[in-house]
Structure 1
Amino acid sequence: MASLARVAEGRALTVPQLRRRTALGKPSGWPDSVHAVLQQVYAARGVLTPDQVEHRLARMLSPQTLGGMAQAIEILIEAIRDDWTIVIAGDYDCDGATGTAVAVRGLRLLGAKRVSYAVPHRFIHGYGLSAALVESMQPTPQLIVTVDNGVASVAGVAAARARGIKVIVTDHHLPGEQLPAADAMVNPNLVYVEKCGHGSPPCDVCAHDARLNKTFPSKALAGVGVMFYLLLALRARMYPSVGADHQNGQRPDLSVLLDLVALGTVADLVPLDFNNRVLIEAGLKRIRSGRGCAGITALIESGKRSIATLCASDLGYVVGPRLNAAGRLEDMRLGIECLLTDDVGQAYRYAEQLSAINMERRDLQASMVAEAELMAAGAAHTDAVGVTLFEPSWHAGVVGLVASKLKDRLHRPVIAFAPASEDNTDELRGSARSISGFHIRDALAAIDARHPGLIERFGGHAMAAGLSLKTSDYPRFAEAFDAIARELIDADQLQAVLHTDGELPVGAASLNLARQLRQAGPWGQAFPEPLFDNAFECQSWKLMGERHLRLQLRDPRDGAMHDAVMFNAYHGTPPPTRLRAVYELTINDWQGREAPRLLLRHIEAI
């Protein structure tokens, strides 16, 4: 098995293997206005005809196909009719914050008058609907609706129901062995079992066990998407015809929530299947037209991005981190309030606070990542396949970002740990990030089965997960994690691979193509932004700040010169004179003048 890449000066010394995508079929039916390069980019992602990128809302999956809706809707109808007190139990990341805002805004639009929210504090309540969070809800609500959490909240749901509170769980995380005893549960990753209506199994009429498995066609909905779907289904039940009377003679317009849905979906890094792309594109169109909520508008402008040309990556790299920072270092209620306010001035004040917290997060992250890189280069870690890192001074709200950075550097699954809080150093909180082919949540489940009691709590997805354990058990866990990684990961999986869309043809790096690529998304997880690789000669370069490069690259095929930038790339060594670059074709719109520019993602000497 390949040895672990040593880390020096913030870089992994191993070079990723470049692998070019191939078309998954022949493009057809595209108008001449669609650039041939874009057609090939689409074909490499399985999109062969124009109808496959018609991201119209009419083509989104029906809310009625999502299991658990009937029970949840009945409870919500009763709650609205009888004016129950409803608490939305959110989460402290961007998906949870946007989902909470969607739930509060949406239920109010549908007639609920007493809707509030509660979001756990990372260091006080822990994750999800915990018993501690339920206890903090004063006065006691009549209904709790979770968003982006709850499928693993067995104890929290039990605590709520013991107090006479009804609970609806809306979540998208993978279920564990035991489900909470909620009154209703909506989750695209659950298999819903329904009786056929002919009686108890075995059924003489159907000649099978009288059960039908109902699964949602897409498993990729984010938590905010699940909540939006529940609201759509609830509205359809309350106002079965478009012309039903309600406020000015029309049913509530839930499309006003799509900017929040787009933000949460992009920020949570869920796969951008067709359905998610429909939701994101609708939200982006709303924002670009100036109809985004005050909070999102303020966050975009705080991040110095253009409302008119906003794209999905702007949501992921600029807006999402500002919201996430509140949940990591402070209290996510600040982020949720930013998304709920309709006061423009207040929204900008919230956005500035969130930006300041995000700057603090970036500084803390940089320090922790530097320490983690030194640890990973040490003898204790150089042969590890499943890498675990722990430093008592680390902040539990930032370890997920550390794990992500180190996973990218080392191309190994990484779990970074920190004390649960300053007052609770006997417990560790860990955040895990994985590589393709190694299902991190299933790996934690396997460790839990082999070493009962070692992990106190865990949950998550294939590529990311969270867990907690006793500080004294960390060495034993580190050994168990490395062992399961060695068992399940093949040697070829340890080679980092960088997929590209091949060489851009001579003369193709134009402003026209750059505009088409930008508008052609939304690009994101499992529908990646186009990357090209070409050979260049570096004619000149200079530093921007301390670590960023600006380069002039010459295409040896025709002598064309290209402006290029590469961020966080300078470590004391100049770029090679002859190089192969992997890059995005982007637009430099400095001072309002647009020009094509290459955003370099990787370079290697040739």
Structure 2
Amino acid sequence: MSRQRPRVLARAPGQPQALPASLHPVLRRVYAARGLAPEQLALDAARLQAPTALKQIDTASALLADAIVAQTPIVISGDYDADGATGVAVAVCGLRALGAGAVHYVVPDRFRMGYGLSPALAELAARSGAQLLITVDAGISSLEGVAHAQRLGLKVIVTDHHLPGSVLPSAEAIVNPNQPGCGFASKHLAGVGVMFYLLLATRAQLRAQNWFATRSEPNLAELLDLVAIGTVADVVRLDHNNRILVAQGLARIRAGRARPGVQALLQVAGRSAERLSATDLGFVLGPRINAAGRLEDIRSGIDCLLAADLQSALPMAQELERYNRERRAIETDMRETAELMIEDSDAAGICLFDESWHEGVVGLVASRIKERLHRPTFAFARAQEAGVLKGSGRSIAGLHLRDALAAIDAQAPGLILRYGGHAMAAGLSLAEARYEQFAQSFAALCAQWLDEDALQLQVHTDGELRGEEFSLDTARALEQGGPWGQGFPEPLFEGRFEVQSLRVLKELHVKYRLRSADGQSIEAMHFNGIEQLRERGSLHATYRLAINRWQGSESLELQLLDVLD
């Protein structure tokens, strides 16, 4: 099956007249197409939703404030991705700033323990000597782990953002915007965002107890660089509340006020903090933090984020850079193998397995194949447990992946050993001997749940640009109009151009000089565009308006996404 060519649709125009006339006209048009209301333009921290709307946050923050005042040892239980890592770092830094006593953290070994607060991880947490355990980005489905931690004498606060099952854990308090009965308006907080909100509420509790009469009150906004990274890396929807969190965190990074570990990661990646975008949080910083958890142990990523100064952070950032390069090499090999597997596939749902694949990278391969084919995809690797496969899946609009696994589990009890996740990403374990049965069941279910329209990749654009709209002023306005991301997509345009010249770079990328319909000559770059190369004549393409910065100068550049014909 070859790479699917998208069907291009224009976004509904919206009502730009409702937005301030002072906005750049193209930005007004883009905002209107996304349904942005005038009151959502402001992204100052004062406009964040109040913590009080989160169910049980009063109970959780009171428990935490009491533990801080009593200097009770606290342990944070995290997860092994970028959201979990930044959430742990926010928890540890925030609690120490609030005046807590001993604060430790534990994270599961993804290869031996699996996701979440397992009984084994609860044992590890108890050995830290803590009396209060707080989960971050996990716990809502950890019924056994929470119960075991309580049997070991730990009180448990669950902070999570994943969808709960029919039964909730028996924790002393649960803070999750997606739990039943929670009135918090923004249901799209990442795990790190939920933890940040718990710290805000705990500071309010301590303030009411005059805890800061003899110590300085911390500015928790200093943690927003980490909140921004975890929020973007976890690909949660950038609703207004999350856009505020990301915008505030980006502002701190751009101003040179990021944590030393973040500065070190940018330094080893060769990226300028001043020009960092929300996209960079997900494609530059997130993967380097994630790489440790994918290949070895996420603790090296967390420790980098916790580093007290740049000197101590740099060696850890360099280690993460090495992990990331190794991860890229492994991913490339696995993706090439996967692409050979799908050459003759016409299934509505894809399952892939190779005995040589790395368990920590299968999710990335599933994502690449999903993007290439526009089909829900699972990729599997052998687990450390003999005879067991672990799979990671990515989905498309129209198929809720966790619900799909639940349906298969109901149809064939015992086929799936364990599963969890949400609409667009999920994971599972199954016996290797039953892989083919699962693959057939998944393909059949996808064919049943997805119609032809759902299986056709659709790309929504913001229409065409003309004349004076092809300018650096427009590009700057769009660049500054973010943060862009999941649910608030970066502006994407389409147009027809004459190809004046081109050259292929590194046998992979294509650099064009194009002429617009209005006669303007414009540079364009198509990264990984060799498959869609247009050597002569004209091309119809989707593109983003970008600024090429080189040696102190700026020039307009189109970044092509798809050459359509």
TM-score by length of 1: 0.91
Within 5 Å, give how 1:144-543 maps onto structure 2: 144-192=133-181, 214-240=182-208, 245-248=213-216, 251-378=217-344, 382-421=345-384, 424-543=385-504
**Counterpart-to-counterpart distance in 2, 1:282 and 1:542:** 40
**Maintained 8 Å contact 1:27/1:48:** no
**Counterpart-to-counterpart distance in 2, 1:383 and 1:572:** 22
Residue of structure 1 in register with 2:36 after alignment: 47
1:393 positional shift: 0.8
Return the letter of the residue paired with 1:385. A
1:77 positional shift: 2.1
1:302 positional shift: 2.0
**Maintained 8 Å contact 1:419/1:427:** yes
Residue of structure 2 in register with 1:205 after alignment: none
Decide which structure has greater helix share.
Answer: 2
| Change in 2 beyond 3 A, CA 1:131/1:576 | farther
CA offsets 1:538-561 (integer angstroms, 9 cap, x no match) = 111112212011111111x33211
Pick the aligned partner of 2:9 from 8, 16, 19: 19
User: Secondary structure at the residue paired with 2:551?
Assistant: helix
1:581 positional shift: 1.3
User: Secondary structure at the residue paired with 1:401?
Assistant: helix
CA offsets 1:190-217 (integer angstroms, 9 cap, x no match) = 013xxxxxxxxxxxxxxxxxxxxx4221
| Change in 2 beyond 3 A, CA 1:575/1:178 | farther
1:247 positional shift: 2.5
CA offsets 1:5-37 (integer angstroms, 9 cap, x no match) = x13xxxx1x3110011122224335243x2111
CA offsets 1:323-372 (integer angstroms, 9 cap, x no match) = 11111011100000010012211212111111111111111111111111
**Counterpart-to-counterpart distance in 2, 1:104 and 1:419:** 34
**Counterpart-to-counterpart distance in 2, 1:575 and 1:467:** 45
CA offsets 1:286-312 (integer angstroms, 9 cap, x no match) = 111111100111112222222112110
Q: In the alignment, is residue 596 of structure 1 matched against residue 564 of structure 2?
A: no
User: Secondary structure at the residue paired with 2:223?
Assistant: helix
1:241 positional shift: 9.7
**Counterpart-to-counterpart distance in 1, 2:480 and 2:328:** 29
**Maintained 8 Å contact 1:22/1:44:** yes
**Maintained 8 Å contact 1:170/1:187:** yes
**Maintained 8 Å contact 2:498/2:539:** yes
- Where does structure 2 lack aligned partners over 5 or more consecutive residues? none
**Maintained 8 Å contact 2:75/2:128:** no
Deviates more, 1:519-528 or 1:504-513: 504-513
Pick the aligned partner of 2:106 from 97, 118, 122: 118
Q: In the alignment, is residue 558 of structure 1 matched against residue 521 of structure 2?
A: no
| Change in 2 beyond 3 A, CA 1:89/1:506 | same
Pick the aligned partner of 1:105 from 81, 93, 96: 93
Residue of structure 1 in register with 2:18 after alignment: 28
**Maintained 8 Å contact 1:441/1:462:** yes
Return the letter of the residue paired with 2:428. L
| Change in 2 beyond 3 A, CA 1:23/1:78 | same
Deviates more, 1:265-274 or 1:557-566: 557-566
**Maintained 8 Å contact 1:458/1:467:** yes
**Counterpart-to-counterpart distance in 2, 1:518 and 1:479:** 45
**Counterpart-to-counterpart distance in 2, 1:487 and 1:246:** 64
Return the letter of the residue paired with 2:300. L
- Where does structure 1 lack aligned partners over 5 or more consecutive residues? 1-5, 193-213
1:112 positional shift: 0.8
**Counterpart-to-counterpart distance in 2, 1:261 and 1:492:** 36
1:573 positional shift: 5.2
Deviates more, 1:153-162 or 1:581-590: 153-162
Aligned residue pairs: how many? 564
**Maintained 8 Å contact 1:549/1:566:** yes
1:576 positional shift: 4.9
Q: In the alignment, is residue 548 of structure 1 matched against residue 548 of structure 2?
A: no
CA offsets 1:356-396 (integer angstroms, 9 cap, x no match) = 11111111111111111111123xxx231111111111011
1:572 positional shift: 9.0
Residue of structure 2 in register with 1:131 after alignment: 119
**Counterpart-to-counterpart distance in 1, 2:72 and 2:215:** 21
**Counterpart-to-counterpart distance in 1, 2:103 and 2:299:** 15
**Counterpart-to-counterpart distance in 2, 1:141 and 1:125:** 20
User: Secondary structure at the residue paired with 2:359?
Assistant: coil
**Maintained 8 Å contact 1:311/1:519:** no
| Change in 2 beyond 3 A, CA 1:537/1:241 | farther
Deviates more, 1:237-246 or 1:487-496: 237-246
| Change in 2 beyond 3 A, CA 1:437/1:479 | same
Return the letter of the residue paired with 2:540. R
User: Once superposed, what is the RMSD of the aligned Cα atoms?
Assistant: 1.6
**Counterpart-to-counterpart distance in 2, 1:340 and 1:510:** 42
Q: Give identity over the alignment, percent.
A: 51
| Change in 2 beyond 3 A, CA 1:290/1:365 | same
**Counterpart-to-counterpart distance in 2, 1:505 and 1:403:** 38
**Maintained 8 Å contact 1:425/1:471:** no
1:507 positional shift: 2.5
User: Secondary structure at the residue paired with 1:145?
Assistant: strand
**Counterpart-to-counterpart distance in 2, 1:113 and 1:37:** 52
Return the letter of the residue paired with 2:481. A
Q: In the alignment, is residue 87 of structure 1 matched against residue 75 of structure 2?
A: yes
**Counterpart-to-counterpart distance in 1, 2:486 and 2:91:** 25
